[in-house]
């Protein structure tokens, strides 16, 4: 007998056979860990710990659906202003995730890339980043972009500086700068723009996440708090995406 999750996946794959698209790239703003913990009278870090299990389910769900790129907002630049104990707990979770999951991710064909401002990361966090990127570098089923110390305005400014310096060095003229050359100096180079942006916990904001890249993404906001987000929620979002008509600013009828 099929579980409810299996039934939703089957429905999604039937739609694909009938010509529906699976999003190539899903980006997720994982929100609501703190509220999940508070509702249970637990410290905030317990919400983040539970959220890590939802990260595993999202990766499994993407592999099952054949999604090629998954970008997860794990720690924003603004998150550096949270209490030091919470930052320490999040960084510890990152190293635990790396140690516990890197081999399995590699076996499943997941390639992990960390995107964000690495200059602010501790030596220990940088070792974790190098370790997971190194172990998984041959993965060819799913690219998992983990956004850590990430801010989209920062990313855009850094890209602008890179291109300005290339102009000064005479490698480029300002007239050569176009969407392709700009995208090639963003952290996300190598991943197509997200087809689907999911935000959990019901907030209607993009929170400085992938501002350039989500220009034409479909947006799915769910009230589910991130620690409760499961494969079936991901498949539901993909089914809703299939029902949307993407026009990219054009008229289609
Ligand atoms: C937002 O919830 C979530 C975060 C700031 C952290 C996300 C981190 C994880 C899911 C776990 C670590 C992941 C990896 C890949 C190691 P919030 O704290 O802002 O929730 P609230 O709005 O309810 O307070």
**Pair 144, 59: CB distance under 8 Å:** yes
pTM, rounded to two decimals: 0.95
Q: Atom of ligand 1 at shortest distance to CA of 38?
A: 23
Average pLDDT over residues 123-131: 97
From 29, 31, 59, 229, the mutation candidate for ligand 1 (largest count of ligand atoms within 8 A of CB) is: 31
Q: Note if 79 is an active site residue.
A: yes
Average pLDDT over residues 3-10: 87
- Ligand 1 center–CA 244 separation, angstroms: 29
Choosing from 21, 33, 79, 228, the catalytic residue is 79
Per-residue tokens: 173: 């003229």
Q: How many CA atoms lie within 13 A of 132 on its CB side?
A: 26
- Beta strand extents in 12-117 (DSSP E only): 25-29, 69-76, 110-115
Residue 32 has pLDDT above 60, yes or no: yes
| pLDDT over 90 percentage in the chain | 87
Task: Compute the mean pLDDT over every residue in the chain, rounded to the nearest whole number.
Answer: 95
Residue 204 has pLDDT above 80, yes or no: yes
The pLDDT of residue 223 is 98
**Pair 133, 163: CB distance under 8 Å:** no
Residue 247 has pLDDT above 80, yes or no: no
What confidence category does residue 250 fall into, taking pLDDT thresholds of 50, 70 and 90? Answer: confident
The pLDDT of residue 14 is 87
**Pair 226, 201: CB distance under 8 Å:** yes
Determine the Cα–Cα distance for residues 7 and 152; give it in Å rounded to an integer: 37
- Beta strand extents in 87-210 (DSSP E only): 110-115, 142-150, 196-199
Average pLDDT over residues 149-176: 98
The pLDDT of residue 40 is 98
Residue 12 has pLDDT above 90, yes or no: no
The pLDDT of residue 20 is 82
């Amino acid at each position: 007998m099929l579980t409810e999750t299996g039934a939703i996946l089957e429905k999604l794959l039937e739609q694909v056979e009938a010509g529906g698209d699976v999003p190539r790239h899903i980006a997720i703003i994982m929100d609501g860990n703190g509220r999940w913990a508070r509702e249970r009278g637990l410290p905030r870090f317990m919400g983040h710990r539970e959220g890590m299990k939802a990260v595993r389910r999202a990766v499994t769900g993407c592999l099952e659906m054949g999604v090629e790129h998954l970008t997860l907002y794990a720690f924003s630049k603004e998150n550096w202003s949270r209490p030091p104990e919470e930052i320490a707990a999040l960084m510890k979770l990152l190293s635990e995730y790396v140690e516990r999951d890197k081999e399995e991710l590699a076996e499943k064909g997941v390639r992990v890339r960390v995107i964000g401002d690495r200059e602010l990361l501790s030596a220990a966090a940088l070792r974790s980043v190098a370790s997971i990127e190194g172990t998984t570098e041959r993965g060819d089923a799913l690219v998992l972009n983990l956004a850590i110390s990430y801010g989209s305005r920062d990313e855009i400014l850094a890209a602008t500086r890179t291109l300005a310096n290339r102009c000064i060095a005479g490698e480029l003229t300002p007239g050569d700068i176009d969407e392709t050359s700009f995208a090639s100096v963003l952290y996300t180079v190598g991943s197509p723009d997200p087809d689907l942006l999911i935000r959990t916990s019901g907030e209607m904001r993009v929170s400085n996440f992938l501002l350039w890249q989500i220009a034409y993404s479909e947006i799915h906001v769910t009230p589910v708090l991130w620690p409760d987000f499961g494969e079936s929620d991901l498949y539901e979002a993909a089914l809703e995406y299939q029902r949307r008509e993407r026009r990219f600013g054009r008229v289609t009828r």
